[in-house]
Amino acid sequence: MPDRPVLRLKPKANARAIRRGAPWVFDNELVLDRRTKALAPGSIARLEDAERTPLGTVAVNTASRITGRMLDRDAEAVIDGAWLQGRLSRALALRERLYDAPFYRLVHAEGDGMPGVVIDRFGDTAVIQPNAAWAEVLLEPLTDALVAVTGVTNVLKNSGGRGRALEGLDDADAVLRGTAPDAPVPVAMNGATYMADLMGGQKTGLFYDQRDNHAFAARLAGDARVLDVFSHVGGFALAALAGGASRALAVDGSAPALDLATRGAEASGFADRFETRQGDAFATMEALAEEGATFDLVICDPPAFAPGKPALEKGLRAYERVARLAAPLVAEGGTLVLCSCSHAADLSAFTGACLRGIGRAHRWAQLLHTGGAGPDHPLLPQLAESGYLKALVFRL
C-alpha cells in the first residue's frame, strides 16, 4: 500500500481523548501545513499525535471545522469495499436482533463506526444520507456494499442533511440503484401503519428514532383524547390510536405531511377517530386554548430549535414557549409529552426550559419518563451529540 498522507495533532491537542474514543478532530487541534490543506475533501489519512505515534485512520476535509473523522483505530486500515461491508454487516446484525421486519435505521453515523453516514431501511429500499465528504467520495462502493450485505434492490440518496453544507457538499438527491418508489411506502410500527415519502418527505421519509417514545405514549392513551402537535406524518397520534385513544387531532404546518398522516390513519383502520388541522403550531395551540379545548394526552415534537450552539438561547426560549402553550391544553391528571431533537440543547437545559414553560402556565408536573432514540440509533458515549433526542413525559 502506498504511503498515505498524515494528519498530525498539535503538541497541546488532547490526544488522550482520541485514544479514548473521541471520533472527531477539529481544525484548531491539527498542524495544517500547505500539504495537508491541499488534500482533497474525503481523502483518507493516518492520524498521528505530536510525537508521530499513530492514532488511527481518518477521513480528511480541511474545508470543514471537523477536519478529521475517525474511521478505524488501525492506522493502516484499508477503507475499501470489504471494510464497508464489515461495518454494514455489524450494523445489520444488531438490527436483525432488534426488529422482526426490515424497517429501521441501519446506520447511525458515528454510533455505528461510519461517521457522517445515515442509512434508513424501508424493506427493499434503503435511503443513504452521506453527510461527510469521505462518504460522498466512496458513495459507489458504499452502495455496492449496501446491496451486497442487505439485499435491497433500491438505493436512494438524500442530500437534505444539514451537515452536507458544512462539508461543502451539494443538495442533489439521486437514485443510486433500482428505482424510486412511485408511492409512499407503508411502514408498520406500534400497531399502526405509517406512510413514508422517500423522495419528497422530510429527512429520509420517516423518523424511526421516536419509535419507542411512541410506544410509551401509547401506553397512556387508552380512551384518551389526543393532541399531536408538530405531528409530521402522525407519529404519536397514530400510535396513540393503536393504543386505544378515543380521538386524535394531528397539527402540522405541512399539508403533504398531514395528507400522509390521514392516509396512514386510513390504512390503520383509524380514520373515524382521526382528524387534522393545518397551521402554525404556536398559533393553533393558542386558538385551541381560546376554544376551551382540552386533551388527556398532548404531545409536542417540534423540529430542532437549537441545531447548534449559536441558536441555543433562542431555541430554549422556543421550547419554553411550546411548553407554556401546551400545558393549558392538558386536562387535569393528563399527560404532556415534550420532545427535542436539538443537538445543542442537552437534557438538563431542555428539561429546565420545559419546566419554566409549564410553571408559567400555572401547572404542576410529575416527570414520569425520560426517553431517547431507539436502539437502532446507538449512542457513541464519547460523542454527546449522538444522544440528540430527548422526550419528557409529564403528568400535570
Q: What is the 3-state secondary structure (H, E, C) of 207-242?
A: CHHHHHHHHHHHHCCCCCEEEEECCCCCHHHHHHHH
As a whole number of angstroms, the distance between CA 63 and CA 55 comes to 22
CA distances in angstroms from 341 to 43, 325, 344, listed in the order given: 31, 19, 9
Helices (H), the chain: 15-19, 34-37, 81-98, 133-137, 139-150, 162-166, 211-219, 235-242, 255-268, 281-290, 312-326, 347-360
Q: What is the 3-state secondary structure (H, E, C) of 33-51?
A: CHHHHCCCCCEEEEEECCC
C-alpha R_g of the chain: 22
As a whole number of angstroms, the distance between CA 172 and CA 150 comes to 25
Contacts of 116 (CB under 8 A, 6+ apart): 69, 109, 110, 130, 131, 132, 134, 135, 163, 167
As a whole number of angstroms, the distance between CA 24 and CA 222 comes to 45
Torsions phi, psi for 341 (to 5 deg): -115, 20
- DSSP H or E run through 252: strand 247-252
Torsions phi, psi for 72 (to 5 deg): -155, 140
Task: Decide: 176 and 156 in contact? Cβ < 8 Å.
Answer: yes
Please indicate whether residue 341 is annotated as part of the active site. yes
Tell me how far apart the terminal alpha carbons of the chain are, to the nearest angstrom: 63
Catalytic residue among 300, 339, 341, 354: 341
Q: The cell 427493499 sits on which residue?
A: 124
Q: Which three cell numbers stand for residue 253?
A: 404546518
CA distances in angstroms from 222 to 170, 247, 335, listed in the order given: 46, 10, 12
Q: How many residues does the chain have?
A: 396
Q: Show which residues are catalytic.
A: 341
